[in-house]
Amino acid sequence: MDVVGVDNDLRKDIHAASQWSGEQTRRDLLEHAVDYRHVDADFRDAAAMDRLFAEFGRNVQAVIHCGGAHNRAFCQANPAEAYAINVMGTNVLLETLRKHSKQGAFLYLSSMQVYGEHANGLPLMDLGRRWELLDGHPYADDGVDESMSIDATPHSMLGASQAAADLMVQEYGHSFGMNTASIRVGSIVGPCQGEHPRDDLGLNRLAECAGSGEPFVIHGYQGKQVRDPLHVADLANALWFKFQAPKPASVYNLGGGRSMACSARDAVERMQRLSGKEIELNVEEGAPAGGQAWWVTNTAKFRQEFPMWRPRYDLDALFQSLLDAKQ
Ligand SMILES: NC(=O)c1ccc[n+]([C@@H]2O[C@H](COP(=O)([O-])OP(=O)(O)OC[C@H]3O[C@@H](n4cnc5c(N)ncnc54)[C@H](O)[C@@H]3O)[C@@H](O)[C@H]2O)c1
């Protein structure tokens, strides 16, 4: 199977830092991935996408769209650009697939940011080291499922543009019968990753601090913010399952799930245990606008459809993979 990667390295502009360039990833893929071809193009360029898809015609089996702009500060400062990348770019890819290979799957990596402030209005209790949902809340046992509304709430420009794209992906399934999926992910973690938003767990940065001895800085929520990280290899595996059984207009929340829930404070303790190093934790006041105190994903819908899928990386294995990559 041929794999074509379309990426113009807009990443370094979106994250406003040259160390965010995807150049090394591109080189690694060209060196190690079998049958990989890289196309340095902007996916908003309809003519360029048309020429590319025309080369393969009806043989395009899937578009896996991972090109969302998801830097909150960038989207807030550049709403038109955020809209152009997240909404118009997604539309170009959908239209081009529809024209050339309508039966192909369109898997869009959406975001839990589509839930906007609904995710922040959840009633939380302070468990000392972590925020947790109040006992008895419908999402308390297993996390947030797809029933949470995405409507009538502030989102930030990032969340609003991703919600618009997420709905359009669904609509190509409803209106045209295309095999589309909006896969809403939260905290994806892998060893090649750059820094994360500062209110997130920042696990790669934490692994770096274990090696360098620098203090680990986290912003807001008294360092008790909770996420359920999913290793990027487990995400890739989930996409592989979905690729093999696509259907129109499917929507999933995907993350590590309840067993992977972890606060920033818990993460520091775990990283210390695994690395054998002391890590100084500095909690700075002031969570970034649109940040989240608590997010755990209910993955029941995805697991019900794909019972063979489950995260292979538990928290220890995920943390260890980050430590190993820093050595
Ligand atoms: N990483 C996470 O934890 C996380 C969380 C929520 C959602 N997501 C979603 O998952 C997807 C992948 O996230 P990521 O962390 O790998 O993001 P990323 O920023 O690392 O990767 C996006 C890639 O898309 C490319 N790109 C952006 N606009 C482009 C354009 N117009 N033309 C060509 N290439 C373009 C960038 O250069 C970059 O390499 C995104 O859609 C994001 O919204 C990720």
Residue 190 scores a pLDDT above 80 = yes
- Strands, E, within the chain: which ranges? 3-6, 36-39, 62-65, 105-111, 124-126, 131-133, 179-185, 188-189, 216-219, 226-227, 230-231, 250-254, 262-263, 281-284
3-class secondary-structure state, position 165:
helix
Over the stretch 64-95, which tens digit does the pLDDT of each residue have?
A: 999 999 888 899 999 999 999 999 999 999 99
**Most informative mutation of 9, 10, 27, 78 for ligand 1 (most atoms within 8 A of CB):** 10
**Distance (Å, rounded) from C-alpha 233 to C-alpha 3?**
17
Over the stretch 236-265, which tens digit does the pLDDT of each residue have?
A: 999 999 999 999 999 999 999 999 999 999
Atom of ligand 1 nearest to the CA of 15: 19
Q: Is 111 in the pocket of ligand 1 (CB under 6 A)?
A: yes
**Distance (Å, rounded) from C-alpha 177 to C-alpha 170?**
10
CB 247 within 8 Å of CB 288: no
Q: Is 193 in the pocket of ligand 1 (CB under 6 A)?
A: no
| Structural domains present in the chain | 41-326 (3.40.50.720)
Comparing 11-20, 120-129, 146-155, the range with the smallest average pLDDT is: 11-20
C-alpha distances in Å from residue 237, one per residue of 108, 224, 232, 234, 308: 15, 30, 9, 5, 10
**Most informative mutation of 7, 87, 91 for ligand 1 (most atoms within 8 A of CB):** 7
Q: What is the mean pLDDT of residues 297-318?
A: 98
Query: Is the pTM above the cut of 0.85?
Result: yes
Task: Show Cβ contacts of residue 246 under 8 Å, excluding neighbours closer than 6 positions.
Answer: 62, 105, 107, 179, 180, 181
Residue 18 scores a pLDDT above 70 = no
Residue 197 scores a pLDDT above 60 = no
Residue 208 scores a pLDDT above 70 = yes
